């Protein structure tokens, strides 16, 4: 319960910080460029707690040997990630100034090793000084919808934060479980629906073109597979012998489309109205009278 309250407080803090630091950082861009932008992304994704060993000790009260007494040591390997999507910049922002939708795909992988002793549940024998190895890799594909707010620190540099939701699923998974007879087998969760938090920095490389480096991690899992190995809170998912917290580091390139100029004489078009210099209201129905009559010579008086 405490971890869920902590997650909610973090989300409220993101919203509160954005509300206190409003800045029209995209006002100059929106004067000459459309609010829509095309985004391409690349980077890596991984699992938090993926390099943090943990001890497992399952004891008994009757003096029998412990069913499990050892240490699991995970090794997280950063996998590749690519994405495409779109971004919409809000002209009059209240809390958030951009909305992003991205389709993401990448490789997620981790390996784990157990050293210690355990009782083989199949043969009921004690295996001392044993080494177990497990590993898993999968192609993780999904979509993320986020709202962002930028804090401008110079005309070309910004810091941003945001919240979002994402749905992701594993495909083409490869799992190795060298743990026959181990009491608590791993239960990988192949799909997630989660609340995410993002923080990052960006730079305007050219008018209407931005580079943004973001770090995004899960804050809360809407649904989570029950596993006896769960130990790291509501933001994590069981993915092998332990539960881990997904994260990604992404470099985004945003390309806004330039607005077209207004239709005028300096920027002609090919409509029927433009083929005539004057419209009907400007044309008279009578011919103009000629004012080029010869003037009468003025008689001069001589004295």
Report pLDDT digits (tens) over 144-160: 999 999 988 888 899 99
Burial 235-263 (b: 16+ CB within 10 A, else e): bbbbbbbbbbbbbbbbebebebeeeeeee
Which pLDDT value is given to residue 284? 53
Compute the distance between CA of residue 25 and CA of residue 23 in angstroms, rounded to an integer: 5
pLDDT of the residue at 264: 47
pLDDT over 50 (residue 302):
no
Give pLDDT tens digits for 58-102: 777 566 777 888 999 999 889 999 999 999 998 888 888 999 999
Which pLDDT tens digit goes with each residue over 52-62?
Answer: 898 888 777 56
CA distance 25 to 150: 7
Residues 108-158 pLDDT 10s: 999 999 999 988 888 888 888 889 888 999 999 999 999 999 988 888 899
Q: What is the mean pLDDT of residues 238-267?
A: 81
Whether 24 has a pLDDT exceeding 50, the answer reads: no
Point out the least confidently predicted range of 68-72, 154-158, 212-216, 293-297: 293-297
How far is Cα 118 from Cα 128, in angstroms, rounded to an integer? Answer: 7
Q: What is the dihedral of CA 57, 60, 65, 67, to 10 degrees?
A: -50
Dihedral (C-alpha) 235, 1, 227, 164: value to the nearest 10 degrees? -20
Q: Are 159 and 150 in contact (CB under 8 A)?
A: yes
Q: What is the mean pLDDT of residues 289-295?
A: 54
Q: Is the confidence at residue 222, as pLDDT, over 60?
A: yes
Query: Tell me, what's the pLDDT at 168?
Result: 96
CA atoms within 13 A on the CB side of 94: 0
Total residue length of the chain: 303
Please, which pLDDT band fits residue 49 given cuts at 50, 70 and 90? confident
The answer to whether 48 touches 74, Cβ cutoff 8 Å, is no
- The H or E element that residue 82 is part of is strand 79-89
What six digits make up the tokens of 45? 């994704």
Question: Which of 188, 212, 189, 182 has its CA nearest to residue 199?
Answer: 212
Which ranges constitute the DSSP H helices of the chain?
2-20, 27-32
Cα distance between residue 140 and residue 110, in whole Å: 13
CA distance 141 to 80: 12
User: Mean pLDDT over residues 263-268, rounded?
Assistant: 49
The fold of 2-258 is Porin (2.40.160)
Report the pLDDT value the prediction gives residue 73, as an integer from 0 to 100: 93
């Amino acid at each position: 319960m405490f971890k869920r309250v902590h997650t909610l407080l973090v989300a409220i803090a993101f919203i509160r910080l954005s509300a206190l630091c409003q800045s029209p950082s995209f006002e100059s861009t929106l004067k000459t460029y459309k609010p829509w932008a095309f985004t391409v992304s690349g980077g890596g994704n991984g699992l938090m707690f993926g390099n943090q060993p943990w001890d497992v000790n399952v004891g008994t009260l009757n003096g029998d040997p412990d069913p499990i007494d050892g240490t699991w040591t995970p090794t997280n390997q950063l996998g590749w990630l690519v994405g495409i999507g779109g971004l919409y910049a809000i002209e009059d922002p209240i809390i958030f100034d951009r909305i992003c939708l991205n389709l993401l795909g990448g490789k997620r992988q981790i390996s784990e090793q157990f050293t210690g002793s355990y009782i083989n549940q199949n043969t009921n024998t004690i295996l001392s000084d044993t080494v177990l190895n497990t590993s898993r890799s999968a192609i993780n594909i999904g979509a993320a919808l986020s709202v962002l707010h930028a804090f401008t620190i110079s005309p070309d540099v910004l810091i941003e934060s945001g919240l979002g939701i994402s749905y992701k699923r594993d495909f083409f998974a490869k799992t190795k479980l060298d743990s026959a007879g181990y009491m608590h087998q791993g239960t990988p969760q192949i799909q997630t629906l989660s609340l995410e938090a993002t923080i990052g920095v960006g730079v305007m490389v050219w008018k209407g073109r931005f580079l943004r480096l973001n770090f995004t991690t899960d804050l809360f899992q809407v649904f989570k597979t029950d596993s006896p190995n769960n130990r790291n809170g509501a933001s994590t998912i069981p993915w092998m012998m332990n539960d881990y917290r997904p994260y990604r580091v992404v470099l985004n390139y945003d390309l806004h489309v330039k607005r077209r100029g207004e239709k005028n004489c300096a920027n002609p078009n090919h409509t029927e109205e433009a083929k005539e210099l004057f419209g009907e209201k400007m044309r008279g129905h009578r011919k103009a009278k000629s004012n080029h009559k010869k003037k009468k010579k003025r008689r001069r008086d001589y004295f």
